[in-house]
Amino acid sequence: MKNKLCTVIALALLLATLFAEGCAVKEEETTAADGTANATEADETAVPDDLPNSKFSGRTFRVLLQEGGQSDFFTENHEIAEPVHDAVFERNKNVEDRFDVRFEINVDGYVNVNNRIKNSVKSGADEYDLCFVHMVSGAELALDNDVLPFEKLPYIDLSKPWWDKSIKNGFSIRNNLMMLNGDISPFSFSITSCMYFNKTMFDRLDLEYPYELVKKGEWTLDKLIEYTKGITQDADGDGKITPDGSSDIYGLTSWHLDVPYSLYYAAGGMLVSKDQDDVPYYDPQLDRDTEIYGKLYDVIITNKAFYATDMANYNNVYKLFTDGRAMFLDSMLNLAGSMREMNDEFGIIPVPKLNKSQPEYKSFVNGASSMICVPATVKESDREYVSILIEGIASEAYRIVTPVLKENYLKRKVTRDADSAEMIDYIVRNRVFDMAYVNMYDGVGSYVRVLLSKGSKDISSAMKSYQKSAKRKIENIVKAFDKSLQRG
């Protein structure tokens, strides 16, 4: 133990010295994917959607977007030489040509999108065929008979790879799924949680990059704790560790509205379960969550991560990393684009698992994510048409948009190495949706964030304090859902 501690201290001192000297780091060459890898990816995107060869005589397909999520469709009717935009444009054009339709796109603030759908349904107007809504605020549409269950849309096939496979956990009750997501929303993919690491800092400390750990299923919270232990330090010698200092260093830099959720859900945390009839119930598992939270506490509190809880420090979360003063950054995939000017080399990996026995890496989806829904005013006679178009858009996104999102934007242009490119698939294919987060964000769904902000370890009392209110909230959601289905 003594030797290990001495090694950590020595490495930390070495890091401080090298950081102060501004030691140069050689640029790593980018490895191009070989023909076999390209062929495999092409085969994966060649999954047929099994849709009929229907033509709709130039019919209009009406789409409503939330502001901020325009990348799900974009409003320009031409290419602009930006890869993701042009891939979405190509997707839309291909679907329009395939089915002989024309897209009509409206954009509004996310609160207004909800209201427009509600008002449209209440008045009986038939104004939209497909809506992209805010994940958290949009969930209430399912409780007031405002949207259709996707089970009533005959050509939506949830077994296809372009739909999130765990989506029913967060948005289905009694096998009625009111919100859906997957490749159809590039905006949603872009705000999936991930972890960045500073390769230059790893090189200075003579540490192996975590890529092989990820591939072997051994990238765990214990490994993150091990990496970050002893790294946070007062490198400028002024007696304090602050993000405003010229050279103080952190093991991890993070934002309080991201990292509690990304770490908790990546470790297999979940607050709502389902019975055999797909009815949700509040299901706190104290032993499991105590283990998870204990490790989160060590990462954030014990190892002295930068854990920003106010807007005054929001920019420091990312600046610390881009300035080369943090080993890890917890954030979302879309941040990669803002790191183009970062001097240090960096990599992208999934958020760590709880332990090696956990079968998959899991990724939290930020609450601002788009979700798709279909207004309840879509007539029964139009459901075949609407479902064919939605499935067609999603499958074409899987073939055209997602590869560009990963390859051109997140891989070659930004991450600068082939290993990070492979990591993207670990991140986006196992995304997590929890009904507690979606419907109780200001309650039990945020208990980890509240405890970390207090620096508290008392998880038992916290869980107990939420028990009655959380149980009642879930029961009320089920009742409202049932009433909605009866009215429908």
Phi, psi of 63 (to 5 degrees): -120, 135
What's 47's DSSP letter? -
Cα distances (Å, whole numbers) of residue 14 to 23, 97, 346? 11, 61, 20
Question: What is the DSSP pairing of strand 326-332 with strand 193-198?
Answer: antiparallel
What's 45's DSSP letter? T
Tens-digit pLDDT profile for residues 62-77: 999 998 888 899 888 8
> What whole-number distance in Å separates Cα of residue 298 and Cα of residue 241?
18
pLDDT band at 336 (very low <50, low <70, confident <90, very high): confident
Cβ(298)–Cβ(226) below 8 Å: no
If you count them, how many residues does the chain have? 488
pLDDT band at 421 (very low <50, low <70, confident <90, very high): confident
The answer, yes or no, to whether residue 408 has pLDDT greater than 70, is no
Tens-digit pLDDT profile for residues 168-178: 988 999 999 99
- The beta strands (E) that lie in 11-66 are given as 59-66
Read off the pLDDT of each residue in 407-421 and give the average, rounded to a whole number: 62
Least confident of 129-133, 135-139, 152-156, 334-338: 334-338
For 340-458, where are the alpha helices, taking DSSP H only?
383-396, 402-404, 418-428, 435-439, 447-454
- Average pLDDT of the chain, as a whole number: 86
The answer, yes or no, to whether residue 382 has pLDDT greater than 60, is yes
Read off the pLDDT of each residue in 368-379 and give the average, rounded to a whole number: 94
All domains in the chain, ordered by first residue: 55-189+369-420 (3.40.190.10), 192-365+430-487 (3.40.190.10)
Q: 85 or 482, which is more confident?
A: 85
Cα distances (Å, whole numbers) of residue 421 to 2, 185, 262, 284? 39, 20, 20, 36
Q: What is the pTM of this model?
A: 0.86
pLDDT for position 76:
81
Dihedral angle computed from the Cα positions of residues 239, 241, 246 and 247, in that order, rounded to the nearest 10 degrees: 100
pLDDT for position 34:
32
Please tell me which of 220-234, 424-438, 443-457, 467-481 the model is most confident about, judged by mean pLDDT: 220-234
Phi, psi of 318 (to 5 degrees): -90, -35
Q: How many CA atoms lie within 13 A of 84 on its CB side?
A: 22
Cα distances (Å, whole numbers) of residue 471 to 96, 169, 290, 446? 46, 17, 20, 15
pLDDT for position 44:
59
For the chain, the first-to-last Cα distance in angstroms comes to 65
pLDDT band at 410 (very low <50, low <70, confident <90, very high): low
> What whole-number distance in Å separates Cα of residue 198 and Cα of residue 214?
16
User: For tokens 């869980």, what's the residue?
Assistant: 463
